[in-house]
Structure 1
Amino acid sequence: MSDKMIHAYSGDEIDVHWDKRLCIHISECVQADDPLFEVGREPWCVPDEVAKAEVREVCERCPSGALSYVDKDGTPEQPASENTGQVVYNGPLYLSGELDIEGAPEDMPGVRFRAALCRCGASKNKPFCDNSHIAAGFEDFGAIGQSGPGLDPGSAASDGPLKIKAIPDGPLKMEGRLTLKAASGRSAWQGTKTALCRCGASKNKPFCDASHRAIGFKSD
């Protein structure tokens, strides 16, 4: 991968990495009320401008995993205590937690904790979102009608990371503890196994209803 896709910003105590492949410009970084990131400044990220704890916190706001960091005392980012999927109004699926995305490159450390996955079917960077839903006119307001089987704390199936597999020409297969949140913010569905639509055509979004077969969805 070209060095131009991954930019490193060094500090005395912590380094920040920005991955252009994953960035969908949500602007949680530049909107932060501190001088860590400043549009128009060169470099736009200066880790030594704020405390190390603040660098970590701001980077962890990035929902796509485009921002990651290397804490020089060896303390790695920790996953959120709960695996969640936030359905975005007319947009992607934001995942957070302990994530195991099959096929994710080793040089994308942020997506082990945070990722924005395509729901419209038009991304040129599948399974990740690249904002193609905007040009495609994708429309889904993010309601979730089902509640799911729930989470059994005594079930072995509930242990470990959330495993995500993008089925070729098919849905996103999820295995592991997961809470899905509607676009309204409501915790709606809970379970340990599901298949989520990534072709944009399901009539039961965010879940797959096999519409990818009828429309001839191609994931490559």
Structure 2
Amino acid sequence: MADEQDIHEYPGEQVDVRWDRRLCIHVGECGRAEGELFVGGRAPWCDPNVVGDDVEHVVDVVERCPTGALTYIRKQGGATEVAPGRNQVVVANDGPLYLSGDLAIDGASEDMAGVRFRAALCRCGASKTKPFCDNSHRELRFEDQGAVGSTGEPSIEEGGRLEVKRAPNGPLLVNGSFTIVGGSGRVAWRGTRAALCRCGASKNKPFCDGAHKAIGFQAD
């Protein structure tokens, strides 16, 4: 569960924005977005009222956050975030696995609202907040450019729930229809089941090859 310093609320007249620092790895989609919804060094850093009646701008910027650290609540009701039609895993160059879709992630607490649709999962093995990324790959100088050798199935039925479970001291077990996008942006793999490396040692990344056993990887 979060403590008082983990989750920050930014109230607006028409929409509230919520930031969960446990999930944030400072990708910068919010701060680099056009407009003044997010301004570094300003107090408050996020001000939903600066966009006036343009609630959709807030929605658009918040939903760009790839880690699920940002979420929103409309004051007047209306549409909430929904899962995209395709479940997707992006293998970031020297970084985490970025998941988007209809997600059910083992290890997510009930108050991590954003990871229902967007999440960044550790694949270097060093994160202190597993299964989520905490940028430890940078300190570790983890290197993997996100090439994907296997192609998987020729076609799949898109959508549906994507379940991610943690094998104790082992890989991420992903079940459901999904696509893997390589670090180059290429749609590389399609399928309904895969074991994805989270120890950082597999020679067949992003897939597990059993290397976690050889290195004595330990994680829930």
TM-score w.r.t. length of structure 1: 0.95
Q: How far 1:3 sits from its partner (Å)?
A: 1.6
Number of residues of Structure 1 aligned to a counterpart in Structure 2: 216
Q: How far 1:151 sits from its partner (Å)?
A: 3.5
Counterpart position of 2:68: 65
1:111 counterpart SS class: helix
Q: How far 1:159 sits from its partner (Å)?
A: 6.2
Tell me if structure 1 keeps the 8 A contact 2:165–2:173. yes
Supply the distance in 1 between the matched residues of 2:98 and 2:171 (Cα, whole angstroms): 16
Unaligned runs of 5+ residues in structure 2 are none
Tell me if structure 2 keeps the 8 A contact 1:102–1:166. yes
Counterpart position of 2:207: 207
Supply the distance in 2 between the matched residues of 1:34 and 1:159 (Cα, whole angstroms): 33
Deviation string, structure 1 residues 8-63 (Cα, Å, up to 9, x no partner): 00011110000000000001101001100001110010011111001000001111
Supply the distance in 2 between the matched residues of 1:190 and 1:172 (Cα, whole angstroms): 17
Moved more, 158-167 or 174-183: 158-167
Pairing 1:138–2:139 present: no
Judging changes above 3 Å, is the alpha-carbon distance between structure 1 residues 150 and 24 closer, same or farther for their aligned structure 2 residues?
Answer: same
Q: Which amino acid aligns with 1:85?
A: V
TM-score w.r.t. length of structure 2: 0.95
RMSD over aligned CA atoms reads 1.1
Tell me if structure 2 keeps the 8 A contact 1:151–1:177. no
Q: Which amino acid aligns with 1:61?
A: R
Unaligned runs of 5+ residues in structure 1 are none
* Match among 73, 82, 99 for residue 95 of structure 1: 99
Q: Percent identity?
A: 56
Tell me if structure 2 keeps the 8 A contact 1:151–1:192. no
Counterpart position of 2:28: 27
Q: Which amino acid aligns with 2:185?
A: G
Deviation string, structure 1 residues 65-115 (Cα, Å, up to 9, x no partner): 000111121421111121001100000000001101123111111000000
Pairing 1:78–2:82 present: yes
Which 4+ runs in 1 deviate beyond 6 A?
none
Q: Which amino acid aligns with 1:84?
A: Q
